[in-house]
Structure 1
Amino acid sequence: MANCTINECDKPVKAKQMCSMHHQRWRRHGDPVVTKVRQSAEPTACKWVNCDRLTVSKGFCSKHYYIYRMQNVQKVQVNS
């Protein structure tokens, strides 16, 4: 089995003569050797009415995100 053609990479080839990691980087960024670090968003308050906790996902704190997921709510009353 062939190895990745990128310098100092000994992983097996998955596609286009690159390992899966370098192939994904090429697909996402156009360059197989680029490494980009994800930036964290600034912490914000939960968008549920009268809740001042910090968000965890989709603009809700952990408690309200759980409720949102369990009830599969389509519209949520939002603080303006």
Structure 2
Amino acid sequence: MNECKIEGCYKPIKAKGLCSMHHQRWRRHGDPLVTKVRQSLYPHTCQWLKCERPTVSKGFCSKHYYIKRTLVLV
């Protein structure tokens, strides 16, 4: 099986000689080596009572988003 053409990456090829991760980075940013973290324009704090951590998703920090998501599913 052929491997990704990026040095040090041994994942199988998806398209254009790149693995799925590097191909997606190439499509999004034009460069398969770019890594960007998505951030909101304005930093917000968690909606959870007495939590001052920055938000990650839907107004909650990563810890409280996980708790809210697992409590809703149960």
User: TM-score, normalized by length of structure 1?
Assistant: 0.52
Q: CA deviation at 1:38?
A: 1.4
Counterparts of 1:9 and 1:19, CA distance in 2: 8
**Identity of counterpart residues, as a percentage?**
66
Q: Which structure has the higher relative contact order (CA within 8 Å, separation 6+)?
A: 1
* Residue matched to 1:24: 24
1:32-58 CA deviation, whole Å, 9 max, x = no partner?
A: 0011111144228xxxxxxxxxx639x
Counterparts of 1:28 and 1:12, CA distance in 2: 20
Unpaired runs of 5+ in structure 1?
A: 45-54, 58-80
Counterparts of 1:27 and 1:13, CA distance in 2: 15
Counterparts of 1:34 and 1:42, CA distance in 2: 23
* Residue matched to 2:59: 56
* Residue matched to 1:74: none
RMSD, matched Cα: 2.3
Structure with greater helix percent: 2
User: TM-score, normalized by length of structure 2?
Assistant: 0.56
